[in-house]
Amino acid sequence: MNNREAKMKIAILFPGYGSQFVGMGKELYDEYRIIQEYFEEASNCLNSNFVKLCFASSDVELGKMNKAYPALFLVSSAIYALLQQEGIKPTVVAGYNDGEYAALFAGGCFSFPDGLYLLNKYAMFFQEALEHMTVEVVRIQGIATKELEEACLKASAYNGKVFIAIYNGLTDHVVAGERSGIEQLRNLIGTLKEVTMDELGTGVGLHSVLMNPVVEQFKIYLEKVDFKDLLIPMINSLDGNLITQGKEIKDQLLRHINSPLAFTRVVDAFLSYDLIVMIGTNPWLFQLLKKHYPHKQLVSVQTPADVETLKKIVLNIGG
C-alpha cells in the first residue's frame, strides 16, 4: 500500500430504485468472472433468470419493484465485490434509498443471500399494501424545504395525507402521499414560478406512516437474519450519522420504511472524504453530488474502463 492509498478516504455510494436500466452491469459481466458468479448465485437464490432480466427484458419489467430491488442489489453487490478484488477498499459506505441494503452487505452486516431474501420479502409486502392504497410519488424541485413542509400540511388537512419522503437538497424533495392529497398539493404550489413536479414510480417508497402495515409484516422476517457489526461504517440516511452496530440495523431498516430519509445529511457527511465512488450510473444523483462538491473527485463505476480509472486514482497505477 502506498502513502496515497493509506491517506485517501473513500466513500462508496450505492444507488436505489429508479437507477435500474436494461443492460446494467453487462460490460462488467462479460469481462469478469466474479460478476458472473454473483448473477449465478442470485438466480439460484430467488429461482429467477437475472441475466435475462437485467440484460434482455424491458424497462417496464425491470421497473417492477419485486424485480428492481433484487436486481439493483445484485448488480451493486457484484460491482462492490469486483472492486474489493481489485484492491479498492472504502472508508465508509452509504446508500440512496434501498441502496442501503447493498451498503450494509458491503459493510459486512449480512450475507448476499440474506440481502436478496430481505428485499424480496419487502417488495412482496409493499406490493400487497399498494393494492389497498391509492398513492402517488413525485419529485418536486424549486421550492424550499420549510415552504414545502407547510404546503404538505395544508394539503393533508383537506383530503389525503401527504409527506416529504426524501430530502434530496434545499429545493429538491421526493413527496409521497394519497393521490387526493398530492392533487391538492399541486393546486397549492403548481402556480409557483420555478417549481417542477415529476411523477416517480411508487417503488421509490412512501417513507411515511402510510407504510406502517408493511413494517408490521416485515419485522417478523428481520428476526430470521443474522445482523453482524459492520466492518465498514455506513452513513445512516435517517440522520447522517455513522452506524456500526449490527443490533441497531433492524430498527434502522424498519424506520427506513416508514420515516423520511434525509439524504441531504448523507451528502453533507461526504465532506470528510477525499473520493466519492458511485456504483452504477444515475445521472441526476451524480450531478447532485457534483453540484455539492464541484472540487471533489467523483467516479461512477459501470464499465471495465471505469474500474481501471478508479484503480489509477486510488492505487496510483501508472502515475
Domains of the chain in start order, with CATH, are 3-127+214-315 (3.40.366.10), 130-210 (3.30.70.250)
What pLDDT shows up at residue 12?
98
Distance, C-alpha 8 to centroid of its chain:
24
Does the pLDDT value for residue 68 go beyond 50? yes
Does the pLDDT value for residue 136 go beyond 70? yes
What pLDDT shows up at residue 3?
45
Round the average pLDDT of the chain to a whole number and report it: 94
Q: Are strands 172-178 and 135-141 parallel, antiparallel or unpaired?
A: antiparallel
DSSP string, 275-291: EEEEES--HHHHHHHHH
Predicted confidence (pLDDT) per residue in 18-37, tens digit? 999 999 999 999 999 999 99
Q: What is the mean pLDDT of residues 152-162?
A: 92
d(CA 119, CA 288): 26
What pLDDT shows up at residue 156?
95
pLDDT band at 5 (very low <50, low <70, confident <90, very high): very low
User: Looking at 232-236, 280-284, 313-317, which range is the least confident one?
Assistant: 313-317
Predicted confidence (pLDDT) per residue in 164-221, tens digit? 999 999 999 999 999 999 999 999 997 787 899 999 999 999 999 999 999 999 999 9
- Grid coordinates representing 180 are 387526493
Contact in structure between 199 and 136 (CB atoms under 8 Å): yes
How many helices (H) and strands (E) the chain has is answered by 15, 10
Contact in structure between 41 and 114 (CB atoms under 8 Å): no
Does the pLDDT value for residue 124 go beyond 90? yes
What pLDDT shows up at residue 4?
44
What pLDDT shows up at residue 158?
84
